[in-house]
Amino acid sequence: MNKIDKNNKNKYKISSYSYLVMMGHICTDLTQGGLPAILPFLIAAHNLTYAKAAGLVFAANFVSSIVQPLFGYLGDRVQRPWFMAVGMMTAGVGVSFLGFFDSYVLMCCASIVMGIGVALFHPEGSKLARIVSGEQQGTGMSIFSVGGNIGFVAGPLYASAMLLLFGLRGTFGFLLPAVVMSAVMLAKTKKINELIEQHYEEKAQIDEEKKEKDNWKGFTIVSVLMVFRSIVGACMNIFVPLFWIGVLSQTEAVGNANLSAFAVAGVVATLAGGRIADKIGFRKVILFCVCASPPLMLLFTLNHSLIAATALGMLISLTISGAHSTIIVTGQNFLPNRIGMASGILFGVTISIGGMFSPVVGWVGDNYGLQNAMFLLTALSIPATILAFMIPRKK
């Protein structure tokens, strides 16, 4: 029995390394999840406008969108799993110093450092998640992606607790989980290298005529779809607490609690979406989620009931996150020979654009009210529905 035959029995098992990289994803996105929850405190302490507050997210995502595909490209040429540990530490350092600066420029610099850390982690993390998930790519990517969701759930709660206890300098608390998880990931780097090398050895044994070619057209469609989805998702994460404060007249704590509820729904949807996609097909899951988003967004924007707003917000999160891992795997499948680059683009350029667009939504909120900003997000959810029907069918 050759090496490949011995490993066939493991193709339908989820490796323990799927959960290791998920934990790394939690620590990395804890910083991204915490940033929107820090914004109301920065607004109150430094009298920032909505646009300036959203600009901190823009700074992180702008840099991340530039360097993340590069990190993915480098990861395709030479395996660099240590990028994950360095990325987690860098992201933690960036956000931990955010509360120590009075200067808006220095706040932007701290956000940029965080963005570089996020960019380092995601291409290698998502590539490893795909490799160790065998044939259950939807489930494997959902486990990886749910780490990000958990980070966004815990981030607002963790940020609120730290800042309420220690003031703005409580942001330094984000350094602790970054240090611990980076050390764990570095300790596993040798074994991770062996797993990656084994994967590419098996891949090299595939007959040349059976080797899949890259489909750039399909990947482009998925990437543009992800751009619109990320704009809506990222801006919802930023403006959900602000909407509760500015439109529904609630406190910062209530706004952040609803941001956490929004993220909890995303965790459930991410896990369920990947598993369902493995069973019924990726295309069906994507179409259902993107078609459901626009009407739910419209209802949320028009509603002023606190209970209904909570329920609608969670439903919107279900439709945004339910197809997330499925869209990522679909995009990777269109570039089977450039997984790292595909991951860097999907996690870097497309998702980062969501944060980069947030100042535009913030400007609309400053000048025309937060409700009109939500109308804009509703309109931006429609193109994704059209693009979903254009994704090429792939066996």
Residue 327: CATH number of its domain = 1.20.1250.20
Whole-number pLDDT of residue 203: 62
Confidence of residue 132 (pLDDT cuts 50, 70, 90): confident
Backbone angles phi, psi at 2, to 5 degrees: -80, 180
The structure's pTM equals: 0.71
C-alpha dihedral sign at 370, 371, 373, 378: positive
Whole-number pLDDT of residue 263: 75
Within-domain flag for 393: no
Residues 301, 370 contacting (CB under 8 angstroms): no
Cα of first residue to Cα of last residue in the chain, in angstroms, is 29
Q: What is the pLDDT of residues 166-182, one digit of tens each?
A: 988 899 999 999 999 99
Whole-number pLDDT of residue 6: 44
Within-domain flag for 187: yes
Within-domain flag for 151: yes
Range with the poorest average pLDDT among 15-19, 158-162, 288-292, 341-345: 15-19
Q: What is the pLDDT of residues 243-270, one digit of tens each?
A: 777 777 777 777 777 777 887 887 788 8
What does the DSSP 8-state code read for residue 160?
Answer: H
Q: Is the pLDDT of residue 43 over 70?
A: yes
Within-domain flag for 6: no
Within-domain flag for 2: no
Residues 310, 261 contacting (CB under 8 angstroms): yes
What does the DSSP 8-state code read for residue 103?
Answer: S
Residue type, 309: A
Question: How many CB atoms neighbour CB 163 within 10 A?
Answer: 24
Range of the structural domain that residue 138 is part of:
16-201+211-388
Backbone angles phi, psi at 9, to 5 degrees: -65, -20
What is the share, in percent, of the chain residues with pLDDT greater than 70?
88
Whole-number pLDDT of residue 72: 76
Q: Is the pLDDT of residue 10 over 60?
A: no
Q: What is the pLDDT of residues 220-243, one digit of tens each?
A: 999 899 889 888 888 887 777 777
Task: State the residue for tokens 């620590």.
Answer: 27
Whole-number pLDDT of residue 211: 64
Q: What is the pLDDT of residues 64-116, one digit of tens each?
A: 878 887 887 776 676 777 888 899 999 999 999 988 988 899 999 999 999 89
What is the share, in percent, of the chain residues with pLDDT greater than 90?
20
Number of structural domains the chain divides into: 1
Within-domain flag for 373: yes
Within-domain flag for 1: no
How far apart are the C-alpha atoms of 319 and 162, rounded to whole Å? 31
How far apart are the C-alpha atoms of 81 and 189, rounded to whole Å? 6
Within-domain flag for 22: yes
